[in-house]
Amino acid sequence: MSEKDFLLQKIWGSWTGKVAGGTFGMPVEGKHREVIINMHPPLSGWSKHHRQGINDDEQYELISILALEALSDDDFANRLKAGTILEPNYLGSYWLEHLLPQYVFTAEKSAYDNAKNGVPWEHAGDYVYEHEGKVFGNEYADWIGAQMKGELYGMLLPAWGWYENSKDDLELLKPCLDLSLQDALIAHREVGIVGELFISAIISVAITHDPFKYREEIKFPKSEVYKWDLEGAQTEKFDGFTEQIDQIGICSETIISDIKRIKAVLLEYASLIDSISTEDVKLYFKFIDPVIDIYIDNPDSRDLGKHWTASNKKDWQKTLDGLWWLFEQDMIKDAISRFKDFPSMLERRLKPLRKSKAVHTLFNNAAIVMGLLYGDGDFIQTVRISTECGADTDCNAGNAGAIVGAYLGQKLIPSYVKRFIRGEIIPGLKEWNDKSIHNLSKRTLTQAERFKKFLHPNNL
């Protein structure tokens, strides 16, 4: 398979995963995990709860494709060299032209409304901005919107050589991070930006994984075997062990290794730019690291259900709930300090905080990683587990689906997943009528080849 065909399969798989995952999680968006687990029929696969529809999570990446396609090669090259290819004023003009207001929410809506009221796009995502004697702001600047739309930039700029350690990790990911940062800045700040950088980076890495040439040492959990004899049931226990296996696909060990390397890259990247700090990155991973630690300690998916029930809260659930409670208190203190001179913005910031767990970047990032690790390379289990975490289920399952789809590629996504969505994306834009995910993938590939042409002209 040529590199071009390989990349198309990976981009196609990621887009299919994005749409399928978002569709899977959409019926229970905002619901608590106990409600989801107790649904009838259970949300264990496609069911009567599901139907395809417009998902706002996908539309921003489609707009970015339109913005890239509108650039001549000369403009593309010049903007790429200057680091302004998707700078806010340019990309924002496409938001105003193509978005339908009924599908715009939280941080994106604040930025959109700010821009329509004359705020320059470069400030539309600011927590506070004074313009012509008026106070504007974006009280949702650290929420999930940037994280939900980061996949495209990993598809456009894969980290080729990641698994061969051919270059420094930051060098491999920096083009992707730079482009993703430009998109994130249109409506987000601080940890909200980190969310998009993480999603774009892991897609960039996953794209380069060859699922047909895969060997990994995996950890098998301890187990129990029940035997029946004349005296009744007896239990025989077996210790866990590790074993190197050849397989097709991806498994959690590789995903964990990739996440840890990406964390190191983001810490280094944050030290080089002004838009985020290393503290923002550390805060972001404060909700991911415990999930990884708990999984490494016990990768037995049979125990996962124990952590969901209200009567037996422990391990990851207790840890993350405790972290969120502390973070929520910090958000209140931060709001009082940050907006002390802007009472209207303070009120806007505090009003939605009680519901913020459902749609904030943090906690939801942990739900994505939960699905990736306990799903262990199985597409439907990945999106199911991410969905069962509750909160922003369509965003989380869409992100997780896109990531595992990028690792696997289109050919390895089960027909069970593809059949329901019929190869279609249902766009919610003023001027996007093509529903074909395959055509969308080819358009994405065309732009990826443009980036390669101008970033690496000697490698064509």
Q: What is the 3-state secondary structure (H, E, C) of 141-167?
A: CCECCCHHHCHHHHHHCCCCCHHHCCC
User: Which residue ranges of the chain lie beneath pLDDT 70?
Assistant: 229-233, 303-315, 459-460
C-beta neighbour count of 75 within 10 angstroms: 12
Domains of the chain: 3-459 (1.10.4080.10)
First to last CA, the chain: 17
Structure confidence by residue, pLDDT tens digits, 45-72: 999 999 998 988 999 999 999 999 999 9
Instruction: Give per-residue pLDDT as tens, 317-370.
Output: 788 889 999 999 999 999 999 999 999 999 999 999 888 989 999 999 999 999
Distance CA 198, CA 276 (A): 13
- What pLDDT was estimated at residue 459? 66
The values of phi and psi at residue 35, to 5°, are -65, -45
- One-letter amino acid at 395 equals C
| DSSP H or E run through 270 | helix 252-270
Backbone angles phi, psi at 428, to 5 degrees: -115, 40
Going through 230-354 in order, the beta strands assigned E by DSSP cover 232-238, 241-247
The confidence score (pLDDT) of residue 307 equals 44
